[in-house]
Each structure stands twice: as C-alpha cells, then as structure tokens.
C-alpha cells in the first residue's frame, strides 16, 4: 500500500489522473505533480491569495484545499486563461494598465478577478476592491489592478465577449488549445 489517494480532476479543461498524499494540497498537486507553476506559493496559510485558483466555479486558496478534496472537480489556473494563445480581455487589461510589476501576485489577482467578473460582470470600484480583498500585492500596485478589472468589465462588446469566453472556457474547453498541454507532464 502506497498511502497515495487516486484522484481525477479536470484542470484547464484537461482530464488528469493523479495519486496524491493525504496531506498534499491542491497547490502541491498543481505545481509539483502537474508542473503548473503559474499558481504561486507564498504564505501557505490563506493570507496572501497568491495561490488562488478557481475550483468548481469558486475562487479558492489552493494552499488551503487538500488535493483529495478536488477529486471529481474542475480547476482553472492562470495557464488556462489564455485560449489558443490569445490573452483574455482581463489579461490584456492588466497589461495595458501596467498592473503587473514584479508579477508574483498577478496569477492570483487574475483568477480572483476572473471569478468576480463571472459573478458580477460589471462591478463598481467597491465591488472590485471587495472581490480582490484576499489578494495582496507586495508591490502595492492596487490602483492599476483595480483599474484593469474595471477596464475589462467596461470593455466594448467585442472585448467584453472575450471575458465571457474566458468563463465559458471552463465548461467548454478545447484541451488541444490549453497552454499547459505544452508544459505539463503527460
Ligand atoms: S499561498 Fe495560499 S493564501 Fe498565500
Ligand atoms: S506585482 Fe509584485 S506582488 Fe503584486
């Protein structure tokens, strides 16, 4: 007996089968087992939001979720945001506003913002601040990050559709177009 627990999880639209230790977190599984290092490891106690991913449609701190708890679930990581190599409207807005400074917190900020826009497509500033309250930025680039989310939310119809496409990606993914397919072990 290995003591490992077999789990099946859809990651960025791609079915994955893993054997995980009971104490391993979803963050461990994503980074160490699947090589998806876009999800960042920092405080490991749910304080910083660097490890944010979307699990079954809700943003979670993946350092606080056991990998075994994700069995049967659906996970979206930052590697899954850009479909067919095209940045989502949200990612483009982060670029356009200069929101990424050192960049360490940005994957988590993007996933938290993606979840927020999925629930509240046109948030006001207070709603953006609340939606991103669990994501710390040591570079203190909060103004640009908030501006980016508001810009993505208020984008013209074609760009706004990209945001919705990003959400739709979670339920209708094209595994061949998933960026992690080229970096994760098969
Ligand atoms: S590493 Fe998970 S919240 Fe900080
Ligand atoms: S951009 Fe450096 S921590 Fe946020």
The DSSP secondary-structure symbol of 102 reads S
Containing 108, the helix (H) or strand (E) segment is helix 106-119
Q: How many domains does the chain have?
A: 2
Give residue 83's pLDDT.
Answer: 81
Among 100, 7, 10, 91, smallest CA distance to 55 is for 10
Q: How far is the CA of 71 from the centre of ligand 2 (A)?
A: 31
Mean pLDDT of 23-35: 98
pLDDT of residue 173: 37
Q: Which residue has the higher pLDDT, 64 or 174?
A: 64
In a domain, 146, yes or no: yes
State the pairing for strand pair 74-76/4-11: parallel
Same domain for 93 and 73: no
**Residue 1: predicted pLDDT:** 54
State if residue 81 touches ligand 2 by the CB under 6 angstroms criterion.
no
Q: What is the mean pLDDT of residues 114-139?
A: 96
- Please indicate, yes or no, if residue 183 is contained in any of the structural domains: no
Give the Cα separation of 8 and 18 in Å (integer).
6
Which domain covers residue 42, as residue numbers? 4-80
Distance 162 CA to ligand 2 centre (A): 25
Residue 104 CB less than 6 A away from ligand 2: yes
Mean pLDDT of the chain: 86
């Amino acid at each position: 007996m290995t003591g490992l627990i077999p789990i099946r999880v859809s990651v960025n639209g791609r079915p994955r089968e893993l054997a995980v230790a009971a104490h391993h977190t979803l963050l461990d599984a994503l980074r160490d087992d699947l090589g998806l290092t876009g999800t960042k490891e920092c405080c490991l106690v749910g304080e910083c939001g660097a490890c944010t991913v979307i699990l079954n449609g809700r943003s979670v701190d993946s350092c606080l979720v056991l990998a075994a708890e994700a069995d049967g679930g659906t996970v979206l990581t930052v590697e899954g945001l850009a479909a067919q190599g095209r940045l989502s409207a949200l990612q483009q807005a982060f670029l356009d506003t200069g929101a990424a400074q050192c960049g360490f917190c940005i994957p988590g900020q993007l996933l938290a913002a993606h979840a927020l826009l999925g629930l509240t497509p046109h948030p006001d500033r207070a709603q953006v601040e609340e939606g991103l309250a669990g994501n710390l930025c040591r570079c203190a680039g909060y103004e640009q990050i908030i501006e980016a989310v508001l810009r993505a939310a208020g984008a013209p119809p074609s760009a706004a559709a990209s945001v919705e496409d990003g959400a739709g990606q979670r339920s209708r993914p094209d595994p061949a177009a998933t960026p992690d397919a080229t970096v994760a072990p098969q």
